[in-house]
Amino acid sequence: MTIRHVVSWQLASTDPAEKVEQSARIAESLEALVGRIEGLQSLRVGADVVGGGNWDVVLVADFDDVESIDRYQVHPEHVTAAGYIRSVVAQRSCVDFAL
């Protein structure tokens, strides 16, 4: 059963240029994990293009199963990426659901 993992972040910065830079760094670090973690089928990160109070960045990833998400969470490259993300975000939301 495929599990879809959706995470949204609100960046702490209010500077538009800084948000663009931070969003790009988040995308680059997370999208690099595809093909490196067993059970991670696909992963995309996108920055909000509308603005106006929406979340700033979203991740949509598909995993083989819940165990694959667990492997992803503790993978050293994900831990590094997550450390940076935590340093620049104000809020985070997450949902995991079966497809």
When divided into structural domains, the chain yields a total of 1
The pLDDT of residue 53 is 78
Q: What does pTM read for this prediction?
A: 0.94
Which domain does 69 fall in, by range?
A: 3-98
- The CATH number linked to 26 is 3.30.70.100
Neighbours of 68 (CB within 10 A): 20
Q: Is residue 69 within 8 Å of 95, Cβ to Cβ? A: no
Q: Which residues of 8-22 are buried (b: 16+ CB within 10 A; e: fewer)?
A: bbbbebeeeeebeeb
| pLDDT tens digits, 14-70 | 999 999 999 999 999 999 999 999 999 999 999 999 877 789 999 999 999 999 999
